[in-house]
A and B are shown apart, each in its own frame.
Chain A
Amino acid sequence: MDLYAALQAVINGVLTGALYALVGMGLALIFGVMRIVNFAHGAFMMLGMYATYVLFTHTNISPYLLFMVAGILLFALGYLIYFGLLRPIHGQSDFMQILLTLGIGLICTDGVLLIFGADYHQINIPLLGKNIHLGEHIVVNAPWVVSFVIAVAVALGLYLFVMRTMIGRAARAIAQNRYAAPLMGINVFRVQAISFAVGIAAAGIAGGLLLPVFYIYPQVGDQFTLKAFVMVVLGGMESIVGAALAGLVLGVVESLTSLYWGNEWALAVDFVIFLLVLSLKPSGIFGRQKA
């Protein structure tokens, strides 16, 4: 029996982890590849959740379609924020970026708090009542599976964007050498703006996919900011795939921690692992580069 409980926890962890992975991959692109320290990442995920939530309550269209709208909205927001706020301070120290994005995150979170109040909400879709039985002992909730499948598809798309498109290649070229890249005809600001927007759209999409299976409140994104950084560091900074794997690992670790020690320790275990990796192996678990 105990084995089944553990197996169930691992499966739940993988399902959660795929959504984590999407948030983490977005930050891997923004922070890992482009070195923009984005402390508002979780807040953007929260905005994606609220965008989907508002659209859902007004149109009653499935959140499994609306997440795309959230992604587009967040892409536009990311593009504007890059050119309006981040570009003016490019070249300044990391601390300035940290303080700026911290401020943007606070504005997003408390702006939403002002508009929607501090209450917790949860949406109700018919799919929530359905469970899928795998054998006798393992049960998974259907919306988690749907969110998982879409998250994997989006993650794959993000991977292809970074590895195969011109913009993705250009972004990695800028990461390798930000002085040589413009000499090769790369428009650094445009590429960074698009990549930043794509990374934020990924967080927004993850928020949209999280909505059916999670509850929503203005501070919901806060813990995801630090979690996303944990994933990027565990994944070895510049590796998009590393961040995705780290997301899955984090999901499973949290799930197993909840099973054996209790839900309240899950976040603490994340951070302890993070601190251990930072101090013992700063190149990350999956990474080769030095952090």
Chain B
Amino acid sequence: MKRSHMVAALVVFFVSILLPLVVETDYALQILFRIYLFAALGLAWNLVGGYAGQLSLGHAAYFGAGAYGLALFSGKLGMSPWLAAAMGVVVALACALLIGGVSFRLRGPYFVLATIAFAEVLRLVAKNLAGITGGDVGVQAPALFHGNVNRAFYWAAVVLTALSFAVTVAISRARFGYYLMAIREDEDTALSVGIGAARTKLAALLLSAALTALAGALYASLFLYIVPDQVLSIDVSNEIAIVAMLGGAGTVLGPIVGSVVLESASEIFKNVFKEAHLLIYGMLLVVVVLFLPEGIVGAITAFLRRRALFGGMKAKGVA
């Protein structure tokens, strides 16, 4: 990363941290929390869906594992909330091992279907094993923060986004990141030059699942109460994927931009369309596929590159 980029990222980070000094209403803080939470989720998804090109539509599994891990390890086993959140990450990693082990052998639509099916099985199990999970009635999640909670959760979401961002930047510059991109571009060729595709994809999924589970724990702890149809629903999986695809899958900044756009848009449309607010997700998906296949960041980058090229040629008197 260029020094100027690094400075810009740090400035954004500190402005975000200081934002609650200006923004004080709980409503605004909760929206900002949601933006950063989904930015972190989009960045986590991006490791698998963007860099490795494995379109997971089952990330609700890890989100739900984090949420239920926090709630159950603390509620049923009496662990401290932070230890329980860590256990949620462990559960998510176990899920990722199982899901990755089975679904990474599949390609294209079969992989996507397998990720959805796994998340759905988890949701149904959480619904039906009411003795353990509380079923549809739900279960209480412990508070990770006390005092001014909206502010604290907002800061936690900013830190989680910064962590996910740092991981993404590190990976996008490391050999590991290039392995992932090679697998995305052509898995057979990647295999033929000696990249252990299965192991590399699984490593990316484990990282992604761990970050997603942390976000799930934060979400559960803010609302203090979770039900399967909320934290394990396919809508969560879709939203995570849409955030990253809208902003630009496989780009460092994409998921953050995507989250800002999607979450603000959905907040506006929630007031207009009420319960039918997923309509906006559907429309955005269609628009992205037809007009912005590289996402917002991808489209802007391409535009800037074209302009730089064109401008450069003009300066040299070519065009």
Question: With contacts A107-B282, A110-B278 known, is A275 near B117, CB below 8 A?
Answer: yes
Contact segment of A68-76, A94-102, A144-152, A246-254: A94-102
Q: Which of A153-161, A169-177, A192-200, A262-270 contacts B (4 or more CB under 8 A)?
A: A262-270
Decide yes or no whether A85 CB sits under 8 A from chain B: yes
Q: What is the interface size of chain B, counting residues whose CB is below 8 A from a CB of the partner?
A: 42
**Which of B102, B279, B284 meets A111, CB within 8 Å?**
B279
Question: Which of A110, A262, A272 has the most B CB atoms < 10 Å from its CB?
Answer: A110
Mask: chain B, 44-74; 1 = CB below 8 Å from A; 0 = not: 0000000001010100000000000000000
* Cβ < 8 Å to B, chain A residues 243-291: 262, 264-265, 267-268, 271-272, 274-275, 278-279, 282, 291
Q: Known: A88-B290, A94-B108, A271-B117. Is A111-B276 also a contact (CB below 8 A)? A: yes
Set of chain A residues within 8 Å of B201, measured between Cβ atoms: none
Nearest A residue to B283 by beta-carbon distance?
A107
Which A-chain residue is minimally distant from B116 (CB atoms)? A226
B57 surroundings in chain A (CB, below 8 A): 98, 102
List residues 40-66 of chain A with CB under 8 A from any CB of chain B: none
How many Å lie between the Cα of A264 and that of B285 in the bound state? 32
* B275 CB within 8 Å of chain A: yes
Chain A interface main SS type: helix
CB of A38 to closest CB in B, whole Å: 10
A268-B125, A271-B120, A275-B121 as given contacts; A107 in contact with B110, CB under 8 Å? no
Against A, the Cβ 8 Å flags (1 = close, 0 = not) of B251-292 are 000000000000000000000010111110111111011100
A110 in contact with B105 (CB, 8 Å): no
Report chain A residues within 8 Å CB of B241: 99
Residues of A within 8 A of B290 (CB): 85, 88-89, 100
A82: interface (CB < 8 Å): no
B83-117 CB mask vs A (1 if < 8 Å, else 0) is 00000000000000000001101101110111011
Any A CB within 8 A of the CB of B245: yes
Nearest 3 Cβ contacts at the A-B interface: A103-B285, A106-B282, A107-B282
Residue numbers of A with Cβ under 8 A of B are 31, 37, 85, 88-89, 92, 94-96, 98-100, 102-111, 113-114, 118, 222, 226, 229-230, 233, 262, 264-265, 267-268, 271-272, 274-275, 278-279, 282, 291
**Sample (29) of A-B pairs whose CB atoms are under 8 Å apart:** A37-B109, A95-B53, A99-B245, A102-B57, A102-B282, A103-B282, A103-B284, A104-B282, A106-B278, A106-B281, A109-B278, A110-B278, A110-B279, A111-B279, A118-B275, A226-B120, A233-B110, A262-B128, A264-B127, A264-B128, A268-B124, A271-B117, A275-B102, A275-B117, A275-B118, A278-B103, A279-B105, A279-B106, A291-B110
